[in-house]
Amino acid sequence: MSNPKDYQVSVEELAALMKRTAGVQVDPAALRQQSDAGFESFGLDSLGLLGIVAELEKQYGLGLPEQAERCKTPADFLALVNGALKTGV
Amino acid sequence: MSAGRRPRAVVTGLGVVSPHGVGAETFWKAVADGTSSLGPVTREGCGHLPLRVAGEVRGFDAVETIEERFLVQTDRFTHFALAAAQLAMEDARFGRADIASPYSVGVVTAAGSGGGEFGQRELQNLWGHGSRYVGPYQSIAWFYAASTGQISIRNDFKGPCGVVAADEAGGLDALAHAALTVRGGTERVVCGATEAPLAPYSVVCQLGYPELSRADEPDRAYRPFTAAACGFAPAEGGAMLVVEEETAARERGAEPRATVAGHAATFTGASRWEQSRAGLARAIQGALAEAGCRPEEIDVVFADALGVPEADRAEALALTDALGAHARRVPVTAPKTGTGRAYCAAPVLDVATAVLSMEHGLIPPTPHVFDLCHDLDVVAGRARAVEPRTALVLSRGLMGGNSALVLRKGA
């Protein structure tokens, strides 16, 4: 397991997770460009985001804040998740 | 809607995914020929179980048919439902351009087995690895309501939706519920049932049914109305139909193929087959009354045909109770002996077959059945060329539901 403090979730990783856990195909460049657009606009529903949170928690071996699954946009989600990974909370 | 006339619910499209193949025409060809698609159980993880013969859907490629984001969150039974719904809409020539408002289209399905394969995988993750390994879609995929929800989401249908959890006979009840919805003012409802009960967990659940056939040979496993009856072979697959209000169908240029004319349902208790006689007779009488149909008008009966001697006897007697002397003259068929019994989907496949039978002027035979031991005119061996105009479809569930549905050709 990598040290959480060394690790940040990239847009590319988020795109890969969206594909793997929710079957949603999204181009990382588009995700980066429209990172303030709602997850629904990429075809990801709330259960899909819940699955991504669970995957990240498994991968990093820690619990993410409850607000993570309520984030509306990729930008908000990555900011929150990466903030939590940095502090290791 | 013309004043004074009761709105009619008519069938305009059929979508079939069955052991006989994918698509209504492929299905009909096999049914009319009296082909049997029963075979050994080959689904993964089922080989060691004491169920040997079933009707499996082969040659169905879910990945090719359904978008990945729907695939990851659905079980095989919903894959069948999504595909069958699409086929039914294509068959009805009903497309996006015909949808004036998303609220004008509803969805009703019935299910009796649910998403066993998906559920089993997630439960194995739970006890094998822990709760973090259970995906969020477990909260929707294995429930009976999954197919109705996913069909409505995929097609953006926002009209009245429903799920009937009423045992195998619920397949007919779902069509009746759709007809009621259409008569109540919704332009059309995509309705029916599909099942995928050939996953290990689901098969184990069925092993407790004394009615399940344990026979080894496909041509001996499911032989209702004969002295060799030894239970039923289960099946997967099913059918979805487009049911529309007659005027709404005609306005978009669709010709009504059959009318859902009458339906009734009763309940007589789990595995109480002798008692099902009275319940089924009552359901038939109720369906005839609603259809304004005399017993003599019934041109063909699609039997429940459970394949358990006591249940077959009760069905034969129920037909006599409800149809009188006509019960001995009317052709009775059970094409499901060639596919197996797909629980809630079995009577919906029978309704699809009844529509095709009236259109083709041909009553399909009952595969594997000869040497009849009941006083019924069972169509065995070869299809019979007649022109049925009114069909009676019967269904009973292992848990005690009895339903009857009357279909009339055209409108």
β-bridge mates for residue B34, sequence order: none
Mean pLDDT of B248-273: 97
Q: Nearest-CA residue of chain B relative to A21?
A: B72
The predicted-structure confidence for A28-46, as pLDDT tens digits, reads as follows: 999 999 999 999 999 999 9
Which of B238, B28, B227, B271 lies closest to B112, judged by CA? B238
Provide the shortest C-alpha distance from residue B73 to chain A (in Å): 7
**Residue contact B133–A58, C-beta within 8 A:** yes
Entry field: residues in chain B? 411
Mean pLDDT of B75-85: 98
Cβ-Cβ contacts under 8 Å, A18 against chain B: none
* Pair of tokens at residue B99: 């949808």
The ipTM estimated for the assembled molecules is 0.85
Q: Nearest-CA residue of chain B relative to A23?
A: B69
Bigger pLDDT: B117 vs B59: B117
DSSP classification of residue B100: S
Helix (H, G, I), strand (E, B) or coil at B161: strand
A22 touching chain B per CB within 8 A: yes
Q: What is the pTM of this model?
A: 0.95
**Residue contact A57–B140, C-beta within 8 A:** no
pLDDT for B22 equals 98
pLDDT for B1 equals 45
**Total structural domains within chain A:** 1
pLDDT for B257 equals 98
Mean pLDDT of B144-157: 97
Q: Nearest-CA residue of chain A relative to B71?
A: A23
Domains of chain B: 9-251 (3.40.47.10), 259-409 (3.40.47.10)
Mean pLDDT of A67-75: 96
**Residue contact A58–B140, C-beta within 8 A:** no
pLDDT for A1 equals 46
Helices vs. strands in chain B: H and E counts, helices first: 14, 14
Fill in the amino acid letter for B17.
V
Which range is least confidently modeled, B129-133, B151-155, B247-251? B129-133
Cβ-Cβ contacts under 8 Å, B128 against chain A: none
**Residue contact B137–A51, C-beta within 8 A:** yes
Q: How far apart are CA A37 and CA B85, in angstroms?
A: 32
Mean pLDDT of B276-281: 98
Identify the contact set of chain B against chain A, taking CB-CB distances under 8 A: 67-73, 132-133, 135-137, 139-140
pLDDT for B3 equals 54
Picking from B73, B125, B134 by the largest number of A CB atoms within 10 A of its own CB, the best residue to mutate is B73
Helix (H, G, I), strand (E, B) or coil at A44: coil
Bigger pLDDT: B82 vs A87: B82
% of chain A residues with pLDDT over 90: 80
Domain limits for position A19: 4-87
Q: How far apart are CA B112 and CA B163, in angstroms?
A: 11
Closest in B69, B136, B139 to A23, CB measured: B69
Using pLDDT thresholds of 50, 70 and 90, give the confidence band for residue B6. confident
CATH label of the domain that carries residue A65: 1.10.1200.10
Cβ-Cβ contacts under 8 Å, A57 against chain B: 132
How many CA within 13 A on the CB side of residue B35? 14
Per-residue pLDDT at B114 exceeds 70: yes
Bigger pLDDT: B400 vs A62: B400
Closest in A23, A50, A58 to B136, CB measured: A50
Per-residue pLDDT at A7 exceeds 90: no
Q: How many beta-carbon pairs under 8 angstroms link A with B?
A: 35
Provide the shortest C-alpha distance from residue A22 to chain B (in Å): 6
Mean pLDDT of A8-30: 95
Q: Nearest-CA residue of chain A relative to B131?
A: A54
Residue located via tokens 């009763």: B266
Whether residue B363 contacts residue B300, with contact meaning beta carbons closer than 8 Å, is answered with yes
Q: How far apart are CA B89 and CA B109, in angstroms?
A: 15
The predicted-structure confidence for B20-51, as pLDDT tens digits, reads as follows: 999 999 999 999 999 999 999 999 999 999 99
Q: What angle do CA B149, B155, B156 make, to 5 degrees?
A: 80
Using pLDDT thresholds of 50, 70 and 90, give the confidence band for residue B214. very high
The mean pLDDT value of chain B amounts to 96
Report the Cα B257 to chain-centroid distance in Å: 18
